[in-house]
């Protein structure tokens, strides 16, 4: 079994680290949150005092951080982890960042004799807890073959999207569509409720009709329709709206750089920007339903 350093124990990273422990891997973890560290320690992991402490003796480093600036800050520069890791170490960055930053970090890793994969995830907090995440991987096929047993301990589906940065591009496309679908689902349910329909009945109708989608079937945004989703707990503990806004911004930047059209993605970004500005940034992204309907 590989010795793993896990950096970043948020709503996604924490459960992922616990799943590695449950599958028999040794995990040294670091996060700025003492509470997050305590949860991993309670599952059998080692609570490191710093990122540099976490990588001591590790053959694999996994990071799950909020943005590209955090990833570059962790790995690059004289004080970054790349300067401290032995050659041959495998780095798997599961953060969702822009593809350009992912390629920059991968090039720096290669220059240091390190193996680097960008492996953003899909499946939400429920998938992280259940170990059923989808990993969307960019990097060399040989490095992915080495990483596969580690990824399989945390996820159900593993896709090789292409070379460095390709995982991030594919993830950004997916999350742009997810933001559009969630906003559209929320709008449709609000329209039905304002015209006297029961949101649970309408959701069931949509799920068996041509409007069916992931949001209505597995992550319904309307309170009281579905158990064990953020909408059933006041939108706490899921994928924060401010992170969806970040991803939609990445999609818009990618579209501009590649001269691609993304009118629906841009509209979804505008909706989430307004939603976050209204103080909903820490709530799950399904709380966008508040934009269309006042909830009791």
Residue 204's domain is classified under what CATH number?
A: 1.10.1040.10
Which CATH number do you get for residue 28? 3.40.50.720
Q: Could you tell me if 155 and 16 lie in one domain? A: yes
pLDDT at site 296 = 62
Structural domain for 256, as ranges:
169-292
What's the pLDDT score for residue 97? Answer: 93
Model pTM score: 0.89
Give the E-state strand segments of the chain in sequence order.
3-7, 26-30, 46-47, 60-63, 90-93, 115-118, 121-122, 133-138, 155-162
Structural domain count of the chain: 2
Tokens matching residue 135: 């990993």
Examine the residue annotation and report whether 194 is marked as an active-site residue of this protein. Answer: no
Q: Which of 108, 139, 163 is the last residue in one of the domains?
A: 163
User: In angstroms, rounded to a whole number, what is the distance separating the alpha carbons of residues 199 and 109?
Assistant: 50
Per-residue pLDDT of the chain (296 residues; tens, 9 = 90+): 689 999 999 989 999 999 999 999 999 999 999 999 999 999 999 999 999 999 999 999 999 998 899 999 999 988 999 999 999 999 999 999 999 999 999 999 999 999 999 999 998 888 999 999 999 999 999 999 999 999 999 999 999 999 999 999 999 999 999 999 999 999 999 999 999 999 999 999 999 999 999 999 999 999 999 999 999 999 998 889 999 999 999 999 999 999 999 999 999 999 999 999 999 999 999 999 999 998 76
Task: Single out the residue of 125, 135, 71, 76 nearest to residue 102, CA to CA.
Answer: 71
Domain finish residue from 118, 133, 163: 163
pLDDT for the residue 37? 96
Is the same domain home to 15 and 111?
A: yes
| Active-site residue identified among 39, 171, 246, 290 | 171
Q: 217-226: long-range contacts (C-beta < 8 A, 24 or more apart)?
A: 219/124, 219/126, 219/182, 219/286, 220/185, 220/286, 221/182, 221/185, 221/186, 221/189, 221/286, 221/287, 221/288, 221/289, 222/186, 222/189, 222/193, 222/289, 223/295, 224/199, 224/200, 225/199, 225/200
In terms of domains, do 156 and 173 share one?
no
């Amino acid at each position: 079994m590989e010795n793993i350093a896990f950096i970043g124990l948020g709503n996604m990273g924490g459960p992922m680290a616990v799943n590695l422990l449950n599958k028999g891997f040794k995990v040294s973890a670091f996060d700025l949150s003492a509470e997050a560290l305590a949860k991993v320690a309670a599952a059998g992991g080692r609570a490191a005092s710093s990122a540099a402490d976490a990588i001591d003796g590790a053959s694999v480093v996994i990071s799950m951080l909020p943005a590209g600036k955090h990833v570059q800050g962790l790995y690059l520069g004289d004080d970054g982890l790349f300067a401290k890791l032995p050659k041959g170490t495998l780095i798997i960055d599961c953060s969702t960042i822009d593809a350009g930053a992912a390629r920059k970090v991968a090039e720096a890793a290669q220059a240091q004799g390190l193996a680097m994969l960008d492996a953003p995830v899909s499946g939400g907090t429920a998938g992280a807890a259940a170990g059923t995440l989808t990993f969307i991987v960019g990097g060399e096929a040989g490095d992915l073959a080495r990483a596969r047993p580690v990824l399989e301990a945390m996820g159900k589906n593993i896709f090789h999207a292409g070379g460095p940065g390709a995982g991030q591009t594919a993830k950004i496309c997916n999350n742009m569509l997810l933001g559009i679908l969630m906003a559209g689902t929320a709008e449709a349910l609000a329209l039905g409720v304002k015209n006297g329909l029961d949101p649970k009945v309408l959701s069931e109708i949509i799920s068996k009709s041509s409007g069916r989608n992931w949001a209505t079937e597995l992550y319904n945004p309307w309170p009281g329709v579905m158990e064990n989703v953020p909408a059933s707990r006041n939108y706490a503990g899921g994928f924060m709206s401010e992170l969806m806004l970040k991803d939609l911004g990445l999609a818009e930047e990618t579209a501009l750089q590649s001269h691609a059209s993304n009118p629906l993605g841009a509209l979804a970004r505008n909706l989430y920007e307004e939603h976050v500005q209204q103080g909903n940034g820490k709530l799950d992204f399904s709380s966008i339903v508040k934009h269309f309907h006042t909830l009791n």
